[in-house]
Structure 1
Amino acid sequence: MSLKDKYQSALDLAKENGAEMENFHEENDAIIFNGTVPSPYVRNLIWDKFKAINSLAKDADAPAEIHANITVKDDSVYHHHTVVAGDTLGEIAKHYFDDAKKYMAIFEANKGILKDPNMIVVGQVLAIPNP
């Protein structure tokens, strides 16, 4: 299996999450992965995918065979989340921060559109603050 084949799922994940890839190719026994992503959250998803492919922990260093330059378009927030049916701020906080108790950080970041942390509406786009 080539390195490109090995990391294809990371490229697919990047594209599914709005990345604009400048290049993705194999060169000198390494994979070159350069592109622009919409948010720090998407950048972290891609890095975590690289690590998962190699059975590494999320907090591990990236594999040496990966040479990536991932530029973030908007780092003023961690991500923008579109509310879907069944979402709660607690579930959203659990997804992005691994801690449902951080829901108030999301509420505070969105006070311009939210009046009550228990009332979010399908279709609302919430700013997820940087952790």
Structure 2
Amino acid sequence: MGLFSFIKEAGEKLFGGSDAHAAAPAEDLNVKAAQAIASYINTQNLGVSDLQVQFDASQGKVTVNGTAPTQAIKEKVTLCCGNVANVQSVDNLMTVTNPEPEAQYHDVVRGDTLSAISKKYYGDANKYNVIFEANKPMLSNPDKIYPGQKLRIPAL
């Protein structure tokens, strides 16, 4: 899967609303940020085993290891890690129990809707729910996407 880039300023505010490279000692901050990201992944109930998350605030980089039951779950973990404020890249080194083809990704821009994204990738705006379902539980509502967010676009 490789290294994925994300927009540092966009995403969930898991670090208490401040930059991950604030005044605290760097190693303490990295550990706390990694714990916050791991906790966020675990709250999504994705069924990941042996989850390990590292964060390097100086690079804004998350490295994640563990075992995912499917490629889709591995990709959702990438999004959980990357759609977090102060994260610029994710290196997902997880193994997959049942390998399958990788999805495409879309970076949300101002004015995007799931219908418009669906039209772009599938040629049919009414297939927006496929994208919504592919990004659950991180998305709770098809109308709540934001610029800078990265979404999974699964093959049909």
User: Fold-level match, TM-score > 0.5?
Assistant: no
Return the structure number with greater relative CO, CA threshold 8 A, min gap 6. 2
Q: TM-score, normalised by structure 1?
A: 0.43
Which structure has the larger Rg? Answer: 1
